[in-house]
Structure 1
Amino acid sequence: MNLLYPSFLWALGVLVVPIIIHLFNFRRATRIYFSNTRFLRQVKEASTARRRLKHYLILAARLLFLFFLVITFCQPIIPAKDQLANSRAIALYLDNSQSMSARLEDKTRGLDAAAQMARSIVSTFPPETRYKLITNDFAPFSNTFKTGAEIQDLLTQLRLSPVTRSMQEVSDRITQDIVSGQRQEVFWIADFQRSTTGKLDHTLDTTARWHLVPIRFQPMSNIFVDSAYLENPFAVSGEKNVLRVNMRNDGVREADQVNVKLLVNNVQTGAATVSIPAGGMTEINFDLATGLTGLHKATISFNDFPVTFDNTFNLALNFADKIRVVEVKSMTATEAVQKVYGNQQVFAYKGFAVGNFNYNELEQADLVVMNGLNNIEPSLAGAVRNYLLNGGTVLIAPGAQPQADGWKNALTLPALKTIPQEAMVELDRPDFSNPFFENVFEEKSVSLAMPKATRVWDWGSDRSAILRFKNDQPFLSVFDQGGKLYILASTLDTDHTDFHQHALFVPVMYRLAASSKKQEGKLYYSLNETFVPLRLDSLPRDVPVRLVGKEEVIPGQRVVGDNVFLDIPGFSVEQGFYKIVAQGDTVGLIAFNVNKAESLMEQYTGEEVKAQAGGGENVSIFEASTIDAFSNEIKERYLGTPLWKYALMAALLFLLAEILLIRFLK
């Protein structure tokens, strides 16, 4: 035990006062005469002994009262367990992700509790201490150390962020500012979700002392949208479609009678009541009305407490125009392509004989199919080459006797060669993990019957082929040549394949056409995705694409032909809808949602967090579950445990004892 103000010990001299009072009786004695004192002498002897005991007890109570009163002013304290590093530099990381909107057991919001804990840290240390506040945004104010008053002001401006950070990212951000040879204190205040914390690639920097402060939420479950997709993998104007939504229950109890609504352009168009099993998922289907064209904002909403940040889910319905398909074919080519793209609600199909083809048609086409051609003229080869370089999509279905040399130069495929006619070989089943087949098949059956084909040419091994023979030779491959070049190993006539008569032919050709659509895009993006690809026609290179939502954002962008690659700044984009604006025209719509991992509320315990951080001696855990408990714990660790209150209570106790002795002890 130490005394903060030992100079007050001189006041212990006051203890001689009750001793002097006890030794010298200042009351004057009164003489009383009695006729017979024999009996009085006996009474006097007995009462004097009792009175002496009473006086000693009262003296002891007075001495102890004065002693503890003096000790109270000396402010006794149990020394602190930890001492602040000599550098007086403290880094504060405060997790302000969306999951911090959940409630603690005392109903305080997690972010508010974290901010209050940070204030307790700032108020605990000396005024000359400097602090660095780091949040998930990695904002510019995190680059410099600030005074306690400046940090207090920043904490009042703290808001929930759409950005999620792993433990590795936070560690790297803090470590990059640690000066070599300088010891630093780090307070890490976060909810430490299992889904977002991740694992460290290395142990925490041993030159710093890391204090982990887990924010512990009350036990809860959460319901959220796990995924959503259209039954038809690409949206087409005016065609009926079905929106499939997978609802997930991250809890230990069944969620019963959950009301889910679908709003399109803020108008309710569908509703459903579902029950979701504990730890499971339930699919809901919403019919989308026919006649929808253009861009539409769809929102799935429901009520779920106490976690509410993910109670809405946004989808951008970009109902594009018909897919424009141009077929260039020989006189002997089959009509398989014309039949599959003959659906006038989905496709705008044009077929031309190779000798009667206007090259200007290429400029307006989304997909060009060259069917049954054995050779290609240099002028047509040049036009197709330019079309590919400008981001177009071409499918080559060769003739029965292709001239490899001509095609080799036109398609820039050096390994292309013709081969002697072989026996028909069955195709291997599709690789359903290939992005080409995403949302194409409802059931991924292993026993799917496959078509047969015989190759007329070969371009070498291709492990990424969309379809392969069972002997591992490629049947349908795609090459990135500015645009997409699809090539079939077989002609489409009946003598060489039954692929065009097989059930697999239509979904493959539809998906191929869908991938060629220049307005093809995802229904939604997560806020943790920082890369968004777009495909726009005739975009000037000197005019940037803007995202217009609650605020206007001009992201970093790179233009390659008709392709635009946007780098989305996570701290500038919020959950919601953003219009894609180019040259003043709205050319698309993007929907952003909260990172799905944020909705998984399971947390690491304190010991698990320490183990994740390496468990070194420079890592400590604050187990306080409330703001007041944390404030007391931080003061105990760095300021010690004050005992003056106990000394004052003891002084008052002995004062009370003195009063009781005088009043009741006869």
Structure 2
Amino acid sequence: MNFLYPGFLFALLAIAIPIAIHLFNFRKFKKVYFSNVQFLKEAKEQNSSREKLKHLLVLISRILAVIFLVLAFARPFIPLSSAGDPGRRNLISVYIDNSYSMETVNKEGNLLDEAKRKAKEIAAAYQLNDQFQLLSNDFDSKHQRAVNKEEFIRLLDEIRISPASRSLQQVVNRLQRESGANRNQIAYLLSDFQQSFVGSQPIQADKDVRYSFIKLNANSLPNISVDSVWSLSPVHQPNQAEQLVVQLHNYGEEDATDIPIKLTINQQQKAISNTKVPAGKSVKDTLSFSGLQKGWQKGVLKIKDFPLTFDDELNFSFQVNTEMKVLNISGDPSQKFIKSLFAADPYFKLSEMPEANIKYSSFPEYSLIVLSGLKQPSSGLAQQLKSYVQNGGSIVIFPDLDANGAIYTPFLTALSLPAVKQLNSGPAIASSIELKDPIFKDVFDQVPANMDLPVVNRYFSYLERNAGGKQGILQLPLGQFLFARYASGAGKMYLAASSLDPKDGNLSRHPVFVPMMLKIAFSSAKELPLYYTSGQSDLLEHEKISLGANQSLTLKSNGVEVIPEVRQMPGKTLLYVADQIRKPGFYDLKKADSVLAVVAFNDNRRESDMHYATDQNLSSLFGKQKIALYNSQKDAMSLNIQAKNNSVELWKLCLILAVVFLAIEILLIRFFNKTKNTQTP
């Protein structure tokens, strides 16, 4: 057992006071004359022995009361675990949570400032030869080395609020990198311990590290966050109507009304709205606008919400293109259905190639390739198309039913599509439509009870070996399909059972054909993510970028320049930025002096949830491993010693025992030896 204030033990000299009172009893006795001394002597001896016992018990009670009262002021404590190997040096690792939630204030002021003060007080409890390690959410390289106390204090003063957000498991893993190395490691984690930071999965921690969690108490604050945004427009065209859906989340306990939403594109206001967000719920609001020009667009969604403002803005970017390139490879030049369809809209730039003269090298230029009525599809074409689809392209195949099924089977199987089983002909067969498919989303305002659907006179039935990646769009009876989609790599393949020739059916002339093909073309556009999360998104996607031997890509924004690691993948280029981008904003992706793309970054919305983990939550995550949990409201010296020794203080028990012995003294004085001893002669 050790003492927090050992100087108070000198007060144990006060036990001399009750001893002196007991030894020097100055009570005066009154003389009483009795006629028979014999009986008086017997009563006197009997009462004297009881009186001595009473005085002795009162003396013991007073001494013990004084002792435990002095011990209560000396603050004794018992260490719960060993202090480590005395032959090793101590490494004191301190984690300071410097996320946005630590901007919250309480009666002690800013939580981050309070965490710094507590960290300094903890450091003061250790010796000068102990080593220290500082860790924050930034995971800076300068914090990876052990330093002395003076350097630790200097690094501590440099910590500022950061947009970086970590999880408790990430912090524990980072601290464990320094475990071992012939040192006793003691880890202190100072945080408000948001539930999003703690998580719900069990924590894997090193049992050789002693963990102490010091919880900073924040005031409960309401908060509304711009949670996410997505576009309802399949493609972005100049001067066309656009629709964005914004999602707001209310993390507070009260409903929020009249929350203003403002949308700006390239610093020009495009839409405004007001909405109500119920407590603890998310709501969606649709914003409509138009008037965009060609090029990259920088969008910002803003709300007004106090006092937490870091999540009141959300950046996003997208590109507006003036055209989409479509290629039609036809085996019958007399069929004009594909040309008539895409020529009606100037947004589509249609190129046509005869079956006998196909330029394979131009395939990557097109977003969609349509194969209509090929007479002799070759294995070379199948190989090139498969590579095109694997790289993210989309193809649509309308077979020529006059060609032998044995000709199409090798071509289809080379594309991992089903082989032709047989050619079916006879009376017209009506098809059915899969309205839940994304192709027909927003196509029909109202679906009639008896919808007019395409019919076919002749069609191929296919031999399905593995229908796992198949999605029927237009169905025929007996489990056959008229039009289906197959996923392959990063792209899609659409296969029809009938041709576009009117003699085989009315698919090419049916009203459903136009929206179906246009939606397929729109879905073939390679849309990049609208935004990424700073400090969390390590990989950025972009269309295939060709680089020379000495060329590199850079991300630039307001004086910040990042050189990503380039990884070429089928159909796309991946940019690995690690954790180099920590600030939200817009970053220009440049190749030399040309801007290839504008990439938007936002702060992690995990910090928006201002709900905190309880002590029981933290203890349960560590399972059987013992951890120490402390409240920052303890006085500095008590917190330091208790955390340092992982101990239990006994001053409350000492105070209780002092009161108990004082009560025993009172009871002895009032009720002991009250029975009178009388003798009859």
Please say if 1:597 is aligned against 2:606: yes
Query: What's the secondary structure of 2:470's corresponding residue?
Result: coil
Aligned partners of 1:422 and 1:455 also within 8 Å: yes
Residue of structure 2 in register with 1:90 after alignment: 92
Residue of structure 1 in register with 2:529 after alignment: 522
C-alpha deviation, 1:231, in angstroms: 2.4
Tell which deviates more after alignment, 571-580 or 634-643: 634-643
* Correspondence list, 1:81-120, <5 A: 81=79, 84-86=83-85, 87=88, 88-101=90-103, 103-106=104-107, 108-120=109-121
Aligned partners of 1:244 and 1:286 also within 8 Å: yes
**Match of 2:564, as an amino acid?**
P
Whole-Å Cα distance in 2 between the matches of residues 504 and 591 of structure 1? 38
Aligned counterpart in structure 1 of residue 563 of structure 2, from 530, 554, 557:
554
Query: What's the secondary structure of 2:259's corresponding residue?
Result: strand
Q: Describe the shift of the 1:511–1:568 C-alpha distance in structure 2 as closer, same or farther (beyond 3 A).
A: farther
Where does the alignment leave 5 or more consecutive residues of structure 1 unmatched? 20-66, 644-666
Residue of structure 2 in register with 1:534 after alignment: 542
**Match of 1:524, as an amino acid?**
Y
Q: Describe the shift of the 1:171–1:379 C-alpha distance in structure 2 as closer, same or farther (beyond 3 A).
A: closer
Q: Describe the shift of the 1:248–1:390 C-alpha distance in structure 2 as closer, same or farther (beyond 3 A).
A: closer
C-alpha deviation, 1:395, in angstroms: 2.6
**Identical columns (%):** 22
Please say if 1:634 is aligned against 2:640: yes
Q: Describe the shift of the 1:609–1:561 C-alpha distance in structure 2 as closer, same or farther (beyond 3 A).
A: closer
**Match of 1:234, as an amino acid?**
V
C-alpha deviation, 1:368, in angstroms: 1.4
Residue of structure 1 in register with 2:322 after alignment: 321
**Match of 1:531, as an amino acid?**
L
Aligned partners of 2:173 and 2:205 also within 8 Å: no
Q: Describe the shift of the 1:590–1:617 C-alpha distance in structure 2 as closer, same or farther (beyond 3 A).
A: closer
Q: Describe the shift of the 1:440–1:590 C-alpha distance in structure 2 as closer, same or farther (beyond 3 A).
A: farther
Aligned partners of 2:203 and 2:621 also within 8 Å: no
**Match of 1:90, as an amino acid?**
I
Please say if 1:457 is aligned against 2:462: yes
Whole-Å Cα distance in 1 between the matches of residues 151 and 445 of structure 2? 59
Query: What's the secondary structure of 1:420's corresponding residue?
Result: strand
Aligned partners of 1:455 and 1:489 also within 8 Å: yes
Whole-Å Cα distance in 2 between the matches of residues 385 and 151 of structure 1? 59
Please say if 1:78 is aligned against 2:80: no
Whole-Å Cα distance in 1 between the matches of residues 111 and 324 of structure 2? 49
* Correspondence list, 1:424-435, <5 A: 429=434
Aligned partners of 1:200 and 1:613 also within 8 Å: no
**Match of 1:557, as an amino acid?**
V
* Alignment root-mean-square deviation, CA: 4.4
Aligned counterpart in structure 2 of residue 467 of structure 1, from 446, 467, 472:
472
Query: What's the secondary structure of 2:106's corresponding residue?
Result: coil
Aligned partners of 2:169 and 2:204 also within 8 Å: no
Residue of structure 2 in register with 1:567 after alignment: 576
Query: What's the secondary structure of 1:622's corresponding residue?
Result: strand
Aligned counterpart in structure 2 of residue 623 of structure 1, from 631, 637, 654:
631
Whole-Å Cα distance in 2 between the matches of residues 442 and 305 of structure 1? 43
* Correspondence list, 1:394-543, <5 A: 394-401=395-402, 403=404, 412-413=414-415, 416-421=418-423, 429=434, 455-458=460-463, 460-467=465-472, 476-480=484-488, 485-492=493-500, 509-517=517-525, 520-527=527-534, 528-536=536-544, 538-540=546-548, 542-543=550-551
Q: Describe the shift of the 1:637–1:598 C-alpha distance in structure 2 as closer, same or farther (beyond 3 A).
A: closer
Query: What's the secondary structure of 2:631's corresponding residue?
Result: coil
Please say if 1:210 is aligned against 2:231: no
Residue of structure 1 in register with 2:29 after alignment: none
Query: What's the secondary structure of 2:105's corresponding residue?
Result: coil
Whole-Å Cα distance in 2 between the matches of residues 460 and 490 of structure 1? 20
**Match of 2:542, as an amino acid?**
L
Q: Deviations over 1:280-333 (max 9, x none)?
A: 333333333324210121111122112111111101031123111111223388
* Correspondence list, 1:188-337, <5 A: 188-201=189-202, 204-331=205-332, 337=338
C-alpha deviation, 1:523, in angstroms: 1.5
Where does the alignment leave 5 or more consecutive residues of structure 2 unmatched? 21-65, 652-681
C-alpha deviation, 1:576, in angstroms: 1.0
Query: What's the secondary structure of 1:144's corresponding residue?
Result: coil
Query: What's the secondary structure of 1:308's corresponding residue?
Result: coil
Residue of structure 2 in register with 1:146 after alignment: 147
Residue of structure 2 in register with 1:46 after alignment: none
Aligned partners of 2:406 and 2:420 also within 8 Å: no
Q: Deviations over 1:504-529 (max 9, x none)?
A: 766654454345435x2121122322
**Match of 2:116, as an amino acid?**
A
Whole-Å Cα distance in 2 between the matches of residues 115 and 506 of structure 1? 65
> TM-score if structure 1 supplies the norm length?
0.74
Q: Describe the shift of the 1:5–1:78 C-alpha distance in structure 2 as closer, same or farther (beyond 3 A).
A: closer
Whole-Å Cα distance in 1 between the matches of residues 232 and 243 of structure 2? 5
C-alpha deviation, 1:89, in angstroms: 1.7
Q: Describe the shift of the 1:634–1:232 C-alpha distance in structure 2 as closer, same or farther (beyond 3 A).
A: same
Q: Deviations over 1:195-229 (max 9, x none)?
A: 34323345533322221223332112211122212
Aligned partners of 2:189 and 2:214 also within 8 Å: yes
**Match of 1:634, as an amino acid?**
N
**Aligned pairs, number:** 584
Whole-Å Cα distance in 2 between the matches of residues 583 and 479 of structure 1? 36
Residue of structure 2 in register with 1:373 after alignment: 374
Aligned partners of 2:377 and 2:408 also within 8 Å: yes
Aligned partners of 2:8 and 2:74 also within 8 Å: no
C-alpha deviation, 1:272, in angstroms: 2.1
Whole-Å Cα distance in 2 between the matches of residues 129 and 416 of structure 1? 71
